[in-house]
Amino acid sequence: MYTVSDAEWQVLEVLWQKETFVLGEVYSALRPNTGWSRNTVHTYLTRMERKGLVQIDRSIEPHRYAAGASRPDCERRERNVFLEKLYGGSTGNLIAAFLTESSISPEERDHLRNLLDDMKL
């Protein structure tokens, strides 16, 4: 399983805003925060297509670019990579680490208890 780099995440943030874009629109949206050239944006889009993160419609000119993965799918993938990398896939160890290293409010504690109680095993 691969991770989505910070740069790829920036590209996806743009693509998640509407159904399709032309290259110039993606470039214009990314340039203020990244300073990337048009060629750099194009390179990211084509590389991300190979990962399934971007869809490119080459049947029309100009080509159309769209997100190939939804935000919830990418978030889930990133959580799973993080969990596996740092905690060997153990959700319990992840939660224990957070709870021992930071404090939570009584409301958050109650919410977590309710989530655990409601889980189907």
Each residue's pLDDT tens digit, 52-98: 999 999 999 999 999 999 999 999 999 999 999 999 999 889 988 98
Which token pair is 69?
A: 């993965």
Residue of higher predicted confidence among 12 and 100? 12
Average pLDDT over residues 40-57: 97
What are the residue ranges spanned by the domains of the chain? 6-67, 71-118
Across the range 24-46, mean pLDDT stands at 98
What is the reported pLDDT for 99?
86
Q: What is the pLDDT of residue 104?
A: 87
We find that the CATH architecture of domain 6-67 is Orthogonal Bundle (1.10)
Q: Helices 71-87 & 6-15, crossing angle to 10 degrees? A: 160
Segment (H or E) for 64: strand 64-67
Element (H, E) at 47: helix 38-50
On average, the pLDDT of the chain sits at 93
Q: Do residues 27 and 14 touch, judged by C-beta distance below 8 A?
A: no
